[in-house]
Amino acid sequence: MKSGWLKGCARGAAVGALLAAAFVDLAAAHEMEYPLRRPAAVLAVGLIAVLWPAARRPAWLTPQLRTAVPALVSLLYTAAAVLLHRSAPFGPGELAVLLSLLFVAVRHCPPRWVVVCAVLDAGALLATPLRYYRELPSGGALGFALVGLILVGLVAGLAAYLRSLDYRRTVAVADTRREERLAIAADLHDFVAHHVTGILVQTQVARMMAETQPRELDPVLAGIERAATEALASMRRTVGVLRDTEEAGRRPVGDLAAITDLTDGFGGPTQHVTLDRDPGLPADLPHEVQAAAFRVVQEALTNVRRHAADATTVIVRLRYDDGRLETTVTDDGLGGTQLPTEAHGGGFGLVGLRERVTALGGELRAGPTGAGHGWEVRARFPAAR
C-alpha cells in the first residue's frame, strides 16, 4: 500500500513538472508575440503521447506511433521556421517531451522500430536550435548540440539498460516456467507410470486367474480399480497445475508417510513387500528430502514391475544416521518379466531420480545386489532437520 502511494506521488510530481515546463514554453512564445497555436499544437501532441494512461490506451496507439508522430510534428515545426526565415520558440517543455519519448522509444518499441523512432526523437530534439539559427551567437549552435547530445546519450543509455533488464527478466521467467513444466512432466511420468504398470501387471494376473480361479478375481479387480482411480487423480492434479487452476497448490508430491501407502498397495498374489522403517527416523525432515525419498521408492517399485515381475520379495528400508537419510529398495528377481516391450520404459525415471538426488547433495546407486540375483536401488541424502 505504501509503495503504491509513493509511486503515485512520484508519477503525479513528474506530470506536474512536465505540465509546468510546457507552460513555460507557452509563456515564452507569448512574450515573443508569437502565435500560440503552433507551439501549443506541438506540445499537445507530445503531452498526449507521453501522458495517456496505459490502462486506457487504445490498441492502435503503439509505442512506435506514440514516439514517431510527435517527433515528426516537431521536425515539421522546425522546418517551417527555417523555410519561412522566421524564428520560432522552443523551451524546456518540448525538450522534456522529446526526451520522454526517446526513453519510450528505446525501452518499449519493437526491435525493428527502435532505431527509427529513437533517431526521429533525438533528431527532433537536436534540431530545435535551428529555429533561432539567425539569432544564435557563433558558438551557440555548437553548445546547444553538445548539451543535446549529452542529454540524448544519458536518456538513451538509461532506457537501453532498463530494456536489457526487462529482457533478462523475461528470459529468467521463461526458463523458470520451462523448468517447472519439466518438473511437472517428471511428476506425471513417475505417478502415472507407477499406477499404469500396476494396472498392467494385475490385469495379466486377472487373465490367468479367470481360467483357474475365477472366484478369487474380486481382490485383483479391486486393486485394478484402485490403481486406475489413483492414476486419474494424479493426472487431474498435474493438469490442474499446468492450467493454473485452484488445484495448483496441490502438486502431487509424496513424503515419508506416503511410502507406507505406496508399499501397502504394491504387493500382489506372488509378491510380498516389506517396509523396514527405522524407529528413530524423525518425522520432521525437510520436505524436499521426504519427497525425493518417496520418488526413489516409487520409481524402484515401478521398475520391479517392469523388469523383475518374477520377484517374490521386495524390501524397502528407511534409515537415519548421523544427519543422513538412506533409502534402499531391494528385490530378489531374476530379471524375468512378461510385460510388453512398450511397457519397459526408456530409463528416464532413473535419470530424473539421479538429478533430483544430486541436486539435494545426495548420491544414488542402482545395480545388482551381488547375490547372483536381485537388484538394489540405494539413495543417501543429507537430511539435517
Going by C-beta distance under 8 Å and a sequence separation of 6 or more, which residues neighbour residue 259? 275, 293, 294, 297, 316, 318
Question: Predicted confidence band at 249 (pLDDT cuts at 50, 70, 90)?
Answer: very low
Check residue 170 and give its pLDDT: 85
Question: Predicted confidence band at 245 (pLDDT cuts at 50, 70, 90)?
Answer: very low
Q: How far is CA 257 from its chain centroid? A: 31
Best mean pLDDT range from 53-62, 160-169, 236-245, 250-259: 160-169
| Top-confidence residue, 299 or 142 | 299
pLDDT surpassing 70 at residue 250: no
Q: Show the domains of the chain with their CATH numbers.
A: 2-136 (no CATH), 253-385 (3.30.565.10)
pLDDT digits (tens, 9 = 90+) for 23-44: 887 887 778 777 788 888 888 9
CA angle 224, 229, 235 (to 5 degrees): 125
pLDDT digits (tens, 9 = 90+) for 173-232: 888 777 767 766 666 666 666 666 667 666 766 776 666 777 666 776 777 777 777 667
Q: How far is CA 213 from CA 207, 216, 255, 271, in A?
A: 10, 6, 37, 18
Lowest mean pLDDT segment, chosen from 60-69, 267-276, 346-355: 346-355
pLDDT digits (tens, 9 = 90+) for 106-143: 999 999 999 999 999 999 999 888 887 666 665 666 77
